[in-house]
Chains A and B, each alone.
Chain A
Amino acid sequence: MIELEEVWRTYRLGGEPIHALAGISERIEAGEHVAIMGPSGSGKSTLLHVLGCLDRPTAGSYRLDGQDVTQLEDDALAELRGHRIGFVFQAYHLVARLSAEANVELPMVFLGVPRGERRRRAAAALEAVGLLDRRRHRPAELSGGQRQRVAIARATVMRPRLLLADEPTGNLDSAAGAQVLDLLDQLHAEGITLVVVTHDPEVARRAGRVLVLRDGRVAARLAGSELGGLERALGRGKPGP
């Protein structure tokens, strides 16, 4: 469960303060699927980074599963990211010199999981994204969709409760994107809390709730289904269920 209270994130740009987040108060329940939308510069990514404990709020409080994380030490935040949070990035961020398997094992290397256990869990995670047969391949030998699925396997291999995805389909064609989204839906169905940043209504449509940001504030809260109607009306996305 995520509780944000009056969260501000202020940068200084040439002496001018820029409020990337300007007083966000929001509550995301465990097991929710939330999409964050908004124009560029609206603070979507900053919010995701704060939620992922990669960035600290300038002011306000953030409680993750009841624990105030704004006061935590650097090492404690790293620990939290390692065990409780998974990240999926638009650019995949796979390590090019490592095989798919080694990429999935990477978080476990730094969290001190023993080797045998690492092998087993990496294989299971790759199996779950349907890429076990590609485990020896390097990222360059995989398609974009496959790469993102490897990244999802890596993000979930520590069984985090919170999965944060920043434009997960931004670099993919619609077929590969759909496959990735299906995978995320499946993880959500298994109980993970899923927060997806996107500017694609087709992606946001799958979420239970959509937060629309503008100038670092939540400008609107919609149900995912409301976007689905919009899409159909525009004749863009696939027909809804």
Chain B
Amino acid sequence: MRELLRFACEALLAHRLRSALSVLGIAVGIAAVTLLTAIGEGTRTYILEQFTQFGTNVIGINPGKTETFGIPGVLGGTTHKLTIEDAEALARLPHVRVAAPVSLGQARVEAEGRGRSVHVFGVSADMVEVMKLRVRQGSFVPPGDPRRGAPVAVLGPTLARELFGEKSPLGRFVRIAGARLRVIGVTEPKGQILGYDLDDVAYVPVATALRLFHQQELFEIDVVVTHESLVEQVVEAIRRTLVERHGGREDFTITTQAAMLEVFGNVMRIVTMTVGGIGAISLLVGAIGILTIMWIAVGERTPEIGLLRALGARRRQVVAVFLAEAVVLAFAGGVGGLLAGLGLARAVQLLWPGLPLQAPPEFVVAALAVSAAVGLAAGVLPARRAAALDPVEALRAD
């Protein structure tokens, strides 16, 4: 077998330019797939990391349920809103570390003649736990009865800088929706998630937010479970408790981080596959190149094939020679394309350091396996044509 491989390689070397061009065709394809999938895969992991920074033991509860039968308020009587009391009830459940009520509004935050329209989160002290927030300056929303909203605000670092520049905002006042709130703290930067700046926000006590935005209901309750493995158990407990509190109706939606990550991960995987598939088209073109060149080679080398058969080569061996040639071409293209793809990925990363790229080792193996398989597939037809030749006719074809 090794000898046939050597014979095949010698045949390829006899047509250097032609072989090199076929190799190039596959290399371009593999490089494209490598680069595109590396970008896709890198983006996926990057975004998942962004999400997981909140922890996989967080459960979100939002009001409303799309699957709920009946139309609230029309057929089913009253709907129950998600309230601070609900959050307090959930906080008493076993294995629940915190149950943080959250409300949300968009408002212009003004100070010292400057203003900025941002999201204003109504939170309790427990939010620190949920969002893994750190306070850089001052303190966060103080603990205590969440129904009592003090006129205070905590700013995200972007917002703080935009409003106050280099000055410390502590003790100064901001105006949100007509109310005057004293700044008591600035959080540490959290970065962006999907383009949303987590640092360009303001946090106020939940009761304050409900009052400012004239809301009666929470936007969300975030529950932090003591341990990730207990999430499902706690989800059930939450469901039972809230259904009971809401008069037997499941008018809320429970989302676990794990479920969200899974959905998101799957979406990104499909995107990666699509993008990789587009790259695979160029790989297909490369494969057709090999098929063409091998087909021509069989035609040109017909007398040689007749000779090999006369010398005692079996059909299988003739097939092996031509398959080997195709696989060697494709595999060489695979190695070259992989190196080029990874090199390009590296170069892209140097140019745009923020762009996440990733090519896991199993991916490298897969790329090489795919290129070999492509060669095998492209070689089948020419090799079969070679083996099917009648030796006498083949010898005469000179």
Contact = CB atoms under 8 A, between A and B. Distances in A.
Interface of A: 49, 52, 54-55, 74-75, 78-83, 87, 89, 91, 93, 95-98, 102, 106-107, 109-112, 115, 154, 158
Interface string B268-312: 000000000000000000000000000000000001101111111
A78 B395 contact: no
Query: How many B residues touch the partner, as a band?
Result: 20 to 34
B311 A82 contact: yes
A111 B312 contact: yes
Contacts of A109: 3-4, 7
Contacts of A89: 395
Contacts of A95: 304, 307
Nearest to A82: B312
B293 to A, nearest CB: 16
A110 B29 CA distance: 34
Interface of B: 3-4, 7, 10-11, 13-14, 303-304, 306-317, 391-392, 395, 398
Contacts of A81: 309-312
B10 A78 contact: no
Contacts of A49: 392
A87 B395 CA distance: 11
B310 A110 contact: no
Nearest to A157: B311
- Interface of B (DSSP majority class): helix
B391 to A, nearest CB: 5
B154 to A, nearest CB: 78
Sorted from nearest, which 3 A-B pairs have the closest CB atoms?
A82-B312, A97-B14, A107-B311
Nearest to A113: B3
A58 to B, nearest CB: 13
Given A55-B392, A98-B10, A109-B7, A93 B312 contact: no
A79 B312 CA distance: 6
B309 A54 contact: yes
B204 to A, nearest CB: 82
Of A102, A107, A115, most buried by chain B (CB within 10 Å of CB) is A107
Contacts of B7: 109
Contacts of B316: 75
Which of B306, B315, B317 is packed against the most chain A CB atoms within 10 Å? B317
B312 A78 contact: yes
A150 to B, nearest CB: 13
A174 to B, nearest CB: 23
B315 A74 contact: yes
A97 B310 contact: no
Contacts of B395: 54, 89, 93
B391 A97 contact: no
Nearest to B315: A74
21 contacts: A49-B392, A52-B310, A54-B309, A54-B392, A75-B315, A78-B312, A78-B313, A79-B312, A79-B314, A81-B309, A81-B310, A81-B312, A82-B313, A83-B312, A87-B311, A96-B14, A97-B10, A109-B3, A109-B7, A110-B312, A154-B311
Contacts of A96: 14
B310 A106 contact: no
Given A91-B398, A95-B307, A97-B10, A110 B392 contact: no
Contact of B308 (A74, A79, A83, A110): A110
A111 B317 CA distance: 10
Given A91-B398, A97-B14, A109-B7, A54 B311 contact: no
Contacts of A55: 391-392
B310 A54 contact: yes
A110 B5 CA distance: 11
B373 to A, nearest CB: 26
B317 A110 contact: yes
Given A54-B392, A109-B7, 4 more contacts: A54-B309, A78-B315, A81-B311, A154-B311
A95 B8 CA distance: 13
A87 B10 CA distance: 24
B6 to A, nearest CB: 8
A55 B3 CA distance: 27
A90 B14 CA distance: 24
A111 B395 CA distance: 20
A93 B14 contact: no
A101 to B, nearest CB: 13
